Structure 1
Amino acid sequence: MEETATDDLAVPPAPGAEQYPALDLANSAVALTGGQFADLLGTPAAANRWLFRHGLAPADAGIQETCASQLRSLREQIRALLAARVAGQPAPGDALDAVNRAMTKAPAAALLHWDPTRGLHRVAAHPVNQILDHALAALAGDAADLLTGADADRLTACPSAPCNRYLLRHGRRHWCSTRCGDRARAARAYARRGRPGTA
């Protein structure tokens, strides 16, 4: 798939994404028509903007590629858990492990270390690492809440190809956006016109 610029991308949040930031994280890799792909976390600056918009990092956090990569990795593990839940399949063990690790990653205090020169001493994590660890823990916890809470039964995948986003169903609506709903209806209408005996 070819990657497209994310600055021009105006994809509205899927239903439920305002309530569950982890759902919005899962949907931050967007499959578009024509084989295009947009990654809203594709660069460190884009990842920093995404975290800032969700109240998980300051605008000037200075997210580096290592941190952005960790965020994208958590996204893929959450997507694997959402896909398994929607399909009624067992949760993948590696995805469970990754989400559990992220939930327990954020240290509550400066940790105790020892080295021959300084002896016992406490070291706080690098500020950017602390920000990211707390963000990953919050997103992983949010994913766990979504997957085990009252809304879990409303979780579904958008059925409009090539969309790859997840959403919470509201009534009869089961597309992630008006655009996907229009595309699905147009495809159905086109298919009906192409059948023999229809006009």
Structure 2
Amino acid sequence: MRAMSEPATPEAEPPPAPGAEEYLALDFANSAIALPGGRFVDLLGTPAATNEWLTERGLAPADAGVQEMCTSQLRALREHLRALFAARVAGMPPLPAALAAVNDALGKAPTAALLHWDDRNGPYRAVPCPTSQILDRALATLAANAADLLTGPDADRLTACGSAPCTRYLLRHGRRHWCSTRCGDRARAARAYARRTRAEAGAGL
């Protein structure tokens, strides 16, 4: 049965997972949120929501006018990043398509600041950013941040939340494998229920 999507609300949306404030790519990968009861929140679910997400993170102006095509491209990159994170956590080879998608996004980044000349202030250098390049810049920034995470010293701390049905990723601190207090409480409750069930089954023998 397909999970039911719902609007993002403070009640539905959990706090950022550990590491998400350090790595924008981790925050991006976690923008699809699975909740108990088959509920699902997608912070990139609509063009307007995507524009808001990008604006809050300095990746697009508020009036960027993000369209569905742009939203689809961002959601596709998100799934590729999640596939790479899953491969890193599991110690498995990455999917070639995921690796190719991230490298393609990295290739969209401008390579040099161009020389400009202002009649009043003289020469200066700046990277061009016409409206048509906003999406490319966002994709390149997110892909580069993911590459930094996967190749940097924090890669060994990358793990998946250990509380079903949550599918978020986090940077592990100590032995913690939960992305939020809510998930930790749910995991502890599930373990306590399992222990109680086993004890009752043993007593019934």
Query: Who is 1:100 aligned against?
Result: 103
How many Å separate the matches in 2 of 1:99 and 1:171? 30
| 2:26–2:146 contact (8 Å) kept in structure 1 | yes
1:72 alignment partner in structure 2: 75
Deviation at 1:69, TM superposition (A): 0.7
TM-superposed deviation, 1:128: 3.4
- Give the letter for the 1:96 counterpart: L
CA contact 1:63–1:128 (8 Å) conserved in 2: no
2:5 matched residue in structure 1: 3
Bigger CA drift: 84-93 or 52-61?
A: 52-61
Q: Percent identity?
A: 70
1:10 maps to a residue whose letter is E
Normalising by structure 2, we get a TM-score of 0.85
Which stretches in structure 1 are left out of the alignment for 5+ residues?
A: 110-124
C-alpha distance in 1, partners of 2:91/2:75?
Answer: 24
**Does the CA-based 8 Å contact 1:15-1:176 persist in structure 2?**
yes
Post-superposition shift, 1:129? Answer: 2.8
1:31 has 2:34 as partner: yes
The letter for the 2-side match of 1:84 is: A
What is the SS of the residue equivalent to 1:71?
A: helix
Q: Deviations over 1:144-187 (max 9, x none)?
A: 00001000000000010000000000112210000000000011
Q: 2:132 matched to which residue of 1?
A: 129
SS at match of 2:199: coil
| Runs of 4+ residues deviating >4 angstroms | none
Q: Following superposition of structure 1 onto structure 2, how do residues 147-186 of structure 1 map, counting pairs within 5 Å?
A: 147-186=150-189
Instruction: Tell me the residue number matched to 2:50.
Output: 47
- Which amino acid in 2 is paired with 1:38? V
Report how many aligned residue pairs link the two structures: 184
Structure 2 counterpart of 1:144: 147
Q: Deviations over 1:14-54 (max 9, x none)?
A: 00000101001110111110011111100001111111111
Shift of 1:193: 1.4
Please tell me the root mean square deviation across aligned C-alpha atoms, in Å.
1.8
- Residue 106 of structure 1: CA displacement? 3.2
Do the aligned residues in 2 keep the contact of 1:106 with 1:130 (CA within 8 Å)?
no
TM-score scaled by length of structure 1: 0.87
1:75-110: per-residue Cα shift (whole Å, max 9, x none)?
00000000000010001110010000001113458x
